[in-house]
Amino acid sequence: MDLERICEHVLAYVEFYLKSNTAQQRRQFESALQDIPEFMDCLRMSGDVDYISFTCFPNYNALKQMCDNLSDNPSLGINRIVIRPVLERTKWYLGYPLEKLKWIE
Please say whether the beta carbons of 52 and 15 come within 8 A: yes
Is position 83 within any domain?
A: yes
Is position 31 within any domain?
A: yes
Is position 63 within any domain?
A: yes
Tell me which residue of 3, 37, 15 sits closest to 85, measured CA to CA: 15
Is position 53 within any domain?
A: yes
Is position 95 within any domain?
A: no
CATH of the domain at 55: 3.30.70.920
Is position 103 within any domain?
A: no
pLDDT digits (tens, 9 = 90+) for 48-88: 999 999 999 999 999 999 999 999 999 999 999 999 999 88
Counting the structural domains of the chain, the total is 1
pLDDT digits (tens, 9 = 90+) for 45-59: 999 999 999 999 999
